[in-house]
């Protein structure tokens, strides 16, 4: 099993070569800050924020100051999705990650990984899919985000942005990694998760996301492998 040293002190301004790991990585720092550049996006690990990088995702690391970096490598189970995540640091997160960077018995290590993944999993549900950078596609994306419950058809959205539906589809696929219909579904589901986390019922989350309750449950289960009712119980668990 791949694991990293608990700490690696990085000199000021040092920038590594692009790298990708065959396992998932959770990176946080105990001092300084580290910027992970992934594609066109930048994610910053600080004593207040951790960064999750899925397996196979190429990233470049640049440290600011003498940064004490704490990487934790996890099996590539795709339980947290395929997009990098910016995750708030908490005492619970640190407590759950600590056993993974110190010597442990095999059984204890597996249990620690399961506990950490269970803690991280809700954050994957609240992450919006990436936004396209092409101006017309980005206008469409922002219009969808402003009213996720609106069922305005793709052809109408494309016409309002001055682009053909076919070109818009190609742009979303090339810049976000998913077709427009799936991108919009992920946006709606992310809105639903946010509401579930805040205590909304499944029916309330469904309406705000533009679904009937039954359609919301089916789409949620297809996308995440769990029903929203069960997810809500997990999100609210102490």
Model-wide pTM > 0.75? no
> CATH for 135-236?
1.10.10.60
Q: Which CATH architecture has domain 8-125?
A: Sandwich (2.60)
For 39-180, list the strands marked E by DSSP: 41-45, 49-53, 60-74, 85-88
Provide CATH 2.60.120.810 ranges for the chain: 8-125
What's the pLDDT tens digit per position in 90-138? 788 888 888 877 767 777 878 888 888 877 776 666 667 888 889 999 9
- From the list 34, 81, 87, 92, the residue with the least C-alpha distance to 55 is 81
What's the pLDDT tens digit per position in 66-94? 777 878 888 766 666 677 777 777 788 88
Provide CATH 1.10.10.60 ranges for the chain: 135-236
């Amino acid at each position: 099993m791949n694991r990293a040293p608990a700490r690696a002190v990085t000199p000021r301004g040092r920038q590594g070569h692009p790298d990708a790991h065959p396992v998932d990585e959770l990176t946080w720092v105990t001092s300084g800050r580290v910027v992970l550049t992934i594609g066109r996006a930048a994610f910053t690990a600080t004593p207040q924020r951790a960064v999750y990088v899925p397996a196979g995702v190429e990233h470049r690391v640049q440290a600011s100051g003498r940064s004490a970096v704490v990487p934790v490598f996890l099996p590539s189970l795709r339980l947290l999705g395929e997009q990098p995540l910016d995750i708030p640091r908490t005492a619970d997160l640190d407590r759950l990650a600590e056993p993974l960077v110190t010597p442990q018995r095999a059984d204890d290590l597996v249990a620690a990984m399961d506990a950490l993944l269970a803690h991280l999993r809700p954050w994957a549900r609240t992450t919006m899919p990436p936004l396209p950078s092409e101006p017309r596609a980005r206008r469409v994306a922002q219009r969808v985000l402003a009213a996720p419950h609106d069922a305005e058809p793709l052809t109408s959205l494309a016409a309002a942005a001055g682009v053909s539906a076919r070109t818009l589809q190609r742009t979303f696929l090339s810049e976000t990694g998913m077709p427009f219909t799936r991108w919009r579904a992920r946006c709606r589901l992310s809105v639903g998760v946010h509401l579930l986390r805040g205590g909304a019922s499944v029916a309330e989350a469904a309406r705000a996301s533009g679904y009937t309750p039954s359609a919301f449950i089916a789409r949620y289960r297809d996308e995440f492998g769990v029903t929203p009712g069960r997810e809500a119980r997990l999100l609210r668990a102490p």
